[in-house]
Chains A and B, each alone.
Chain A
Amino acid sequence: MTGAGAMNRLLAWLSGLLFGVGLAWSGMADPHKVLGFLDVAGAWDPSLLLVMVGAVLTYAVGSRLVTRRARPWLDERFHLPANRRIDARLLAGAAVFGIGWGLAGYCPGPALAGVGLGNGDLIWLLPALLLGWWLAGRGRRV
């Protein structure tokens, strides 16, 4: 590996670090707040909506500026999904994910970031999450 590989890792780490700070600050590492948003028939907490608005608007503006460049800073090309087709696989996967998300209030970001908070839920949730990723990945052509 060269120095370029080290820079790649450093910047990826920094991105993950900022993402983790953002998740914790936004309150989304707290499953109660996530479930409070999903519970539209209960005492609804719209915080998650504002997290999404802040993140999506920032990304919508910023990604247009960034992708105007010919290539990213540390790579030869952008690795962006070209698939725009809405198929059964996409919808089935999303539906299953939603059920799991609603069952405990953890999507993948908070499940990984919560390790840094010493969240005891993750002793049970995280191994199952990794198993799910691994199982679903086995049948998948890359």
Chain B
Amino acid sequence: MTTSFTPWSALGGGILIGLASLLLLFALGRIAGISGIAAGLLPPRRGDLGWRLAFVIGLPMGAALWMLGAGGAAVASHAPPWQLALAGLLVGVGTRVGSGCTSGHGVCGLGRFSPRSLAAVLTFMATAMLCVYAWRHLLPELAR
């Protein structure tokens, strides 16, 4: 399935993501790294549980709010279960070992000009693009 370029909603949504991350920095002094915030709940630690849980609960509520307002529909890939499960496992292990994901390294790290985050972003962008290339172009070619 191909999608079309949506520059205005991309830019608008991106700015809102930036503002949401700034709010967390301004109020709590924390980096809005989603993998870091959520993984910090596994296992939960006393005194550090409330704000993490509140942020993680806010995320799907925000998405639901947008869907109610904009009237959008849920978009699932309907990829096979094994593929979704393997993807989830790799994303979980990778983001925790690599100390961050698209939000922590991508938005906050790049925004703070962290060389560590730049290295991480370039690395995960590269392997993600290679993976998609292999999955969408190389494998179908080989299977022919």
Whether the pair B64, A116 counts as a contact (CB closer than 8 A) is yes
Query: In the complex, A114 Cα to B77 Cα: how many Å?
Result: 12
Whether the pair B26, A73 counts as a contact (CB closer than 8 A) is yes
Query: In the complex, A17 Cα to B16 Cα: how many Å?
Result: 11
Chain A binding surface SS class: helix
Query: In the complex, A30 Cα to B38 Cα: how many Å?
Result: 20
CB distance from A140 to the nearest CB of B (A): 7
Whether the pair B77, A121 counts as a contact (CB closer than 8 A) is yes
Q: Which of B20, B39, B84, B137 has the most CB of A within 10 A?
A: B84
Whether the pair A127, B94 counts as a contact (CB closer than 8 A) is no
From known contacts A115-B60, A125-B88, infer whether A107 and B20 are also in contact, taking CB-CB under 8 Å: no
Whether the pair A51, B10 counts as a contact (CB closer than 8 A) is yes
25 A–B contacts from the bound complex (CB under 8 Å) = A8-B50, A9-B54, A17-B62, A19-B62, A20-B65, A24-B70, A39-B133, A45-B2, A50-B14, A54-B13, A59-B108, A62-B18, A66-B25, A73-B27, A81-B31, A84-B115, A90-B99, A93-B99, A94-B98, A97-B90, A98-B128, A108-B102, A109-B59, A125-B85, A132-B89
| Chain A interface (Cβ < 8 Å from any Cβ of B) | 1, 5, 8-33, 35-36, 38-43, 45-60, 62-63, 66-67, 71-75, 77-81, 83-86, 89-109, 111-121, 124-137, 140
| Chain B interface (Cβ < 8 Å from any Cβ of A) | 1-7, 9-32, 34-35, 38-39, 42-43, 50-67, 70, 72, 74-79, 81, 83-99, 101-103, 105-108, 110-116, 119-121, 123-133, 135-137
